[in-house]
Amino acid sequence: MCITLFNYQENLLPAMRYSFLSVFTQALRGHTGWKPAWRKAEPAPSYDVVIIGGGGGGLATAYYLAKNHPEVGRIAVVEKGWLGGGNIGRNTTIIRSNYLLPGNEPFYEFSMKLWEGLERELNYNAMVSQRGIYNLYHSDAQRDAFARRGNAMLLHGADAQLLDKAQLRREVPYLNYDNARFPVQGALVQRRAGTARHDAVAWGYARGADLRGVDLIENCEVTRIFQENGKVTGVETTRGTIRAGKVAMAVAGSSSLLAAKAGLRLPIESHALQAFVTEGLKPLIDTVITFGAGHFYISQSDKGGLVFGGDIDGYNSYAQRGNLPVVEDVCEGGMALMPMLGRTRLLRSWGGIMDMSMDGSPIIDKTPVDNLFINAGWCYGGFKATPASGFCFAHLVARGEPHPVAAAYRLGRFAEGRLIDEKGVGAQPNLH
């Protein structure tokens, strides 16, 4: 009986379907029947589309290209290290669609809806947990700014709520309400926001792309980008030359270095961002909270560690690590907001490279080189955009036209003054 059921499952898809039943039956076989989550592909001499970057952006793009635009032909992802080893491999896992500006909110809400269907889409438990996000406010002006944002969210069809102090205190009692330097007055809440398991997102997209015939090529660094008559023709890599009809760049913090190989200078600066996790604790914080009077935000992972972070270090860096002043600054913010954190121990810190743009918003666009496309400028907010970023970039690469929800993310917007500057700090990347 079990065997029959198992075979039935097998026939649904060419490869192993994940489910409770598959875990159960594999357990009975000592788990010897699992297949690799994705093939270790060897690079072919040419592809129709080469995606540079095997992180969240690249893998999601590969998946949606293969699924939504199979007419593009053969697709490869080339990744210089191990798949999902960049910012997708270490981030604070927050997903939300609580942006203010018309250029941003439809995109992030589109992404939110993709998150909500992701497990079914990928047959992979990305552990999407819509536990809500609370953006705390500490003054009347901040309250009104959040009301503006919440109303914008509602106008765009997302969900938003504004809580006053009494309501907030009932829902989140452990904040410092009585002895604070900047007393909490309330919060903007998005209930549908939350977290997702970042590694699962990378692996889920990788597996899905691989199942649809995309070659995922690891340990393959692009060393040159070839052009002829203003059109891209292929790449040179550490695993050989690969000809390509189209090349799509999705390498986040390394974007400037990669684009330079095509003779392009991007309006992006690379900065160091640190993030932190504590030792595992029994459930303590069941939502996502951002401090409104300092750089600090926090949530609790399903493994029990508190995952938190703050501001970028402030200087340009590719080192993937930060320095002590920010560590202290973030912990000061944490203690100011939740004095119960004092005896909780920081377990590990890590750092990544943030591609900071001139208005804090991303770029998903063609480049001056024909058939060379760029997806970059995510600053420190790329994780939540992963599904929409891949979906829209795939659309652009396949059709040559931007997807409507990402239409504002053009490279030329800076020259035109069509900025998408949520914070209003101007053309200084380290302020966004």
Partner 1 sequence: MSGYRLSQGGVIDRARTVNFKFDGKSYAGFAGDTLASALLASGVKLFGRSFKYHRPRGVFASGSEEPNALVELRTGAYREPNTRATMAEIFEGLEAASQNRGVSLKYDPLAVNNWLSPFLVAGFYYKTFMWPSGFWEKIYEPMIRRAAGLGRNAGMPDPDCYEKTTEFCDVLVIGGGADGAAAAIAAAEAGQRVILCDENAPLYALQLPESVRLFSRTTVLGVYDGGTYAALERLTDHLPSSSAPRQRLVRIIAKRSVLATGALERPIAFGHNDLPGVMLSRAVGDYVTRYGVAPGRNVLLYLNNDDAASLIPTLHGAGVKLAGVVDARPRSSDALYDAARAAGAPVYAGAAIIRAVGAMGVKGARIRLAAGGELSLPCDIIAVSGGFNPNLALTSHFDGKPVWDERIAAFVPGILPPGMEVVGKAAGQGINANILPVFHSGYVPGKSFLDLQNDVTVKDMKLAEREGFASVEHMKRYTTLGMATDQGKTANVNAIGVLAEALGRGVGETGTTRFRPPYVPVAIGALAGAHTGRYFRPMRLTPTHGWAKELGAVFVETGPWLRAQYFPQPGEDWLSAAQREVNTVRLAVGICDVTTLGKIDIQGPDAAVFLERVYTNSWKTLAIGKVRYGLMLREDGMVMDDGTTARLGETHFVMTTTTANAGRVMQHLEFCAQILWPELDVAMISVTDQWGQIAVAGPKSTATLAKLVDAPFDLSDEAFPYMACGALTVYGGVPARLFRISFSGERAYELAVPARFAHALAEKLMEAGAEYGIAPYGTEALGIMRIEKGHAAGPELNGQTTAHDLGLHKLLSKKKDFIGRAMAARPALMDTQRQTMVGLKPVNERDVIRAGSHLLPVGAQAKAENDLGHVTSAARSPTLGSIALALLAGGPARMGETVRVYDPIRGGDFEAVVTSPVHYDPEGKRLHA
From the CB of 408, what's the least distance to partner 1, in Å? 11
Do 298 and 286 form a contact (C-beta atoms < 8 A)? no
Q: Which is nearer to partner 1, 257 or 281 (CB)?
A: 281
What are the tokens at 247?
Answer: 């090349």
Q: Choose between 244 and 312: whose C-beta lies nearer to partner 1.
A: 312
Q: Which is nearer to partner 1, 257 or 346 (CB)?
A: 346
CB of 143 or CB of 246, closer to partner 1: 143
- Residue 284 or 398: which CB sits closer to partner 1? 284
Q: In this structure, are residues 68 and 349 in contact, taking their beta carbons and an 8 Å threshold?
A: no
Least distance from C-beta 253 to partner 1, angstroms? Answer: 15
Q: CA–CA separation, 204 vs 18, rounded Å?
A: 11
Q: Cα(184)–Cα(176) distance, rounded to whole angstroms?
A: 8
Residue among 26, 401, 47, 92 at smallest CA distance from 244: 47
Cβ–Cβ contacts within 10 Å for residue 126, how many? Answer: 23
Task: Name the pairing type of β-strands 46-52 and 240-249.
Answer: parallel
State the nearest-atom distance from the C-beta of 121 to partner 1, in Å. 11
Pick 351 or 382: Cβ nearer partner 1 = 351
- CB of 88: closest distance to partner 1 in angstroms? 11
**Residue 96: which of 121, 127, 133, 143 has the closest Cα?**
133
How far is the C-alpha of 183 from the C-alpha of 78, rounded, in Å? 49
Q: Rounded distance, CA 164 to CA 415, Å?
A: 41
Q: How far is the CB of 80 from partner 1 (least distance, A)?
A: 13
Q: In the complex, what is the shortest distance from the CB of residue 93 to partner 1, in angstroms, rounded to a whole number?
A: 13
Minimum CB separation of residue 226 from partner 1 in Å reads 29
The label of the residue with tokens 């790449």 reads: 235
> Where is 336: in which H helix or E strand?
helix 324-337
The Cα 408–Cα 103 span in angstroms is 6
Shortest CB 397 distance to partner 1, Å: 26
Judged by CB, which is closer to partner 1: 132, or 362?
132
Q: Please state, in angstroms and rounded to a whole number, the distance separating the CA atoms of residues 364 and 397.
A: 10
CB of 135 to partner 1, least distance (A): 13
Tell the smallest beta-carbon distance from residue 232 to partner 1 (Å). 29
CB of 387 vs partner 1, minimal distance in Å: 16
| C-beta closer to partner 1: residue 10 or 302 | 302
Amino acid at 8: Y
- How many residues are given for the chain? 432
Q: Which is nearer to partner 1, 79 or 355 (CB)?
A: 79
The Cα 291–Cα 138 span in angstroms is 9
Within 8 A by CB and 6+ apart from 30, the residues are none
What are the CA-CA distances from residue 117 to residues 124, 184, 288, 407 (Å)?
11, 35, 21, 23
Nearer to partner 1, 189 or 244 (CB): 189
CB 271 within 8 A of CB 296: no
Closer residue to partner 1 (CB): 44 or 425: 425
Contact 307, 301 (CB under 8 A): yes
With CA atoms as reference, report the closest residue to 334 among 302, 303, 305, 309.
Answer: 309
